[in-house]
Chains A and B, each alone.
Chain A
Amino acid sequence: NAGVTQTPKFQVLKTGQSMTLQCAQDMNHNSMYWYRQDPGMGLRLIYYSASEGTTDKGEVPNGYNVSRLNKREFSLRLESAAPSQTSVYFCASRGGQAGYEQYFGPGTRLTVT
């Protein structure tokens, strides 16, 4: 099992450009998550999907959209990138029941100039 995979690993954007971060999991998990981590800070939840077909806002959803494409895939889109969105983005998945842990991907390092 590959676990949780994310693409790309690194990306540089200019202000105003758009892009989509891809995430896939092969553990048949119901729930998936997108977090961002700024330098020296903890992770902050952007959006999550409790199950296929549902998405909900987390702590910092402004400037982002998400799509739960199917049970395996959960993408994060930046429509008009801003320098404040420079961060490391982590995707995670979990079984979806109480008492189940999250599994994280390796992260995407995004720089917006």
Chain B
Amino acid sequence: DAKTTQPPSMDCAEGRAANLPCNHSTISGNEYVYWYRQIHSQGPQYIIHGLKNNETNEMASLIITEDRKSSTLILPHATLRDTAVYYCISPPGTYKYIFGTGTRLKVLA
């Protein structure tokens, strides 16, 4: 299984970019990297995923290093509503997700 490690917490000023790192040094060639977030005690919400190339959608950007051993989720202009726990996941195969404890991002006014 590709294990991921994330810092337990981070702060970010409102309006600034939030850069959340994830280490997945044991990832294999066909394993995707997914990012989810969980606001309060709601169900996790999908943000973005990637395999090799950098990805961008309306919520965030995902930068994956060339060796695929780490990635960074970028929220370009963080708002108070982005305060949440962010999970980086790299499931082995198609089905089995291991969530871990994630990074608790606090956006400060």
Q: Which residues of B contact A104 (CB under 8 A)?
A: 43-45
Report the separation of the CA atoms of residues A97 and B44 in the bound assembly, to the nearest whole angstrom.
19
Report the separation of the CA atoms of residues A99 and B97 in the bound assembly, to the nearest whole angstrom.
13
Report the separation of the CA atoms of residues A88 and B101 in the bound assembly, to the nearest whole angstrom.
15
Report the separation of the CA atoms of residues A48 and B93 in the bound assembly, to the nearest whole angstrom.
13
SS of B interface (majority)? loop
A101 with B96, Cβ < 8 A, contacts A43-B44, A88-B41, A90-B43 known: no
Report the separation of the CA atoms of residues A41 and B94 in the bound assembly, to the nearest whole angstrom.
24
A31 near B95 (CB under 8 angstroms)?
yes
Q: Which residues of B contact A102 (CB under 8 A)?
A: 36, 44, 46, 97
A42 with B95, Cβ < 8 A, contacts A101-B46, A103-B46, A104-B45 known: no
SS of A interface (majority)? strand
Interface flag for A81 (CB, 8 Å): no
Size class of the A contact interface (CB-based, 8 Å): 20 to 34
B100 near A98 (CB under 8 angstroms)?
no
Report the separation of the CA atoms of residues A92 and B95 in the bound assembly, to the nearest whole angstrom.
11
Q: Which residues of B contact A13 (CB under 8 A)?
A: none
* A-contact 0/1 string along B61-100, CB 8 Å cutoff: 0000000000000000000000001010000011111111
B99 near A42 (CB under 8 angstroms)?
yes
Interface residues in chain B, defined as those with a beta carbon under 8 Å from any beta carbon in chain A: 30, 32, 34, 36, 41-46, 49, 51, 85, 87, 93-102
